[in-house]
Amino acid sequence: MRFSITGGLVALLFAFAANSGINVAPAAAAHAEKHGKLHARLSERHPGMLLMSWKGPTDESMAPQIAEAYNQYKGEISAIYLILNSPGGSVRYGERAIAVLQEIKKSVKLYTGVKAGAKCASMCVFIYVQGDKRFAAPASLWLFHEVSRSDSHKHLVSLNRDGWLKMVDRYWVPAGVDLNWIARVKAEAMSTNVWESGAQLLQENANLVQKPLSDNKLRVINATPDD
C-alpha cells in the first residue's frame, strides 16, 4: 500500500453550491483499472437509504465517485451506508473523500461498515470513522501504521510518525474512539504494522467498531445443473 504525504486538506478544491450539490473535479479516465470502484443503489429493505460499496485503494477517484452518487440520489434519501473494502492509499485523496463525506453528513446520516473477509487498512480507517454509526464483522481485517512514502517500485523510503499521530487526533478522537485503545495503538505502531481483526476490536471495546455484523455470507450457486 502507498501513502502520500500531504500538508493538509485542501478544502478549496471543493465548491459546495446551495443548489448544485457537491462538486469535485471529475475522476481521471486514464488507468481507470487501477482506481477503486464505487457501486451505489437504493436499499430495497430500508427505504430512504443509499447503499454505497467501495472496493479498492483510496485514490483520486474516490471523492468524485462518492459525490456523484450522492448527487444522483440526494432527493430520495435520508441515510447512506458506505461499505468499505480497501487496502488504504493516498492521504491526500483520502482526506478529499473525508471532506465530501463530512459535507454529506450535514444533510443525511452516514453509516459505515466492513463485511466479513473484507479489509480496512491504513487510510481506510480514517474514512471509516466518519460514520455516525459504525459496523463491522468479527471476521474483518484491520491495519494501523504510520504514514509512509514509497518509491516507484513500492519500496518503503520514509515514515512520517508525526503526521500519522496528528491524523489520529484529528479523526479518531472526535469520533469517540476509546482513548486508552488509541494510546496502545500509538505505542505499538512504532515503525511497525499493527494488525487486528474485527473480533479483537469488539472485544477490546475500542469503539472503533460500534456494532457487529454477521460473519455469515450466503453462497450463491450459478452453475447450470446437468440434465
Q: What is the mean pLDDT of residues 201-222?
A: 91
Note whether residue 219 is domain-resident.
no
Structure confidence by residue, pLDDT tens digits, 52-105:
999 999 999 999 999 999 999 999 999 999 999 999 999 999 999 999 999 999
Residue 62 exposed, middle or buried by CB count within 10 Å (0-12, 13-18, 19+): buried
Q: What is the mean pLDDT of residues 105-118?
A: 98
**pTM to 2 decimals?**
0.82
Tell which residue, 193, 154, 199, 147, has the closest CA to residue 170.
Answer: 147
The CATH number of residue 163's host domain is 3.90.226.10
Q: If pLDDT is split at 50, 70 and 90, which confidence band does 159 have?
A: confident
Note whether residue 220 is domain-resident.
no
Note whether residue 2 is domain-resident.
no
Using the predicted structure, report yes or no on whether residue 157 has a pLDDT greater than 50. yes
Note whether residue 149 is domain-resident.
yes
Domain containing 94: what range?
Answer: 11-26+34-212
Residue 38: what are its φ and ψ, rounded to 5°? -105, 130
Q: Could you tell me which residue, 79 or 21, shows the higher pLDDT? A: 79
pLDDT value, residue 151: 61
Mean pLDDT value across the chain: 85
| Number of structural domains in the chain | 1
Report the share of the chain in percent with pLDDT over 70.
78
142-145 contact pairs (CB < 8 A, 24+):
142/114, 142/195, 142/196, 142/197, 142/198, 142/201, 142/208, 143/88, 143/119, 143/193, 143/194, 143/195, 144/185, 144/189, 144/193, 144/194, 144/196, 145/189, 145/192, 145/193, 145/194
Residue 111: what are its φ and ψ, rounded to 5°? -115, 145
Note whether residue 85 is domain-resident.
yes
Distances from the Cα of 170 to the Cα of 9, 42, 211, angstroms: 12, 32, 23
Using the predicted structure, report yes or no on whether residue 25 has a pLDDT greater than 70. no
Using the predicted structure, report yes or no on whether residue 212 has a pLDDT greater than 70. yes
Q: What is the mean pLDDT of residues 133-146?
A: 97
pLDDT value, residue 160: 85
Note whether residue 225 is domain-resident.
no
- Lowest-pLDDT range of 16-20, 42-46, 59-63, 208-212: 16-20
Note whether residue 226 is domain-resident.
no
Structure confidence by residue, pLDDT tens digits, 162-195:
999 999 999 999 999 999 999 999 999 987 899 9
pLDDT value, residue 153: 60
pLDDT value, residue 35: 81
Note whether residue 224 is domain-resident.
no
Q: Could you tell me which residue, 96 or 157, shows the higher pLDDT? A: 96
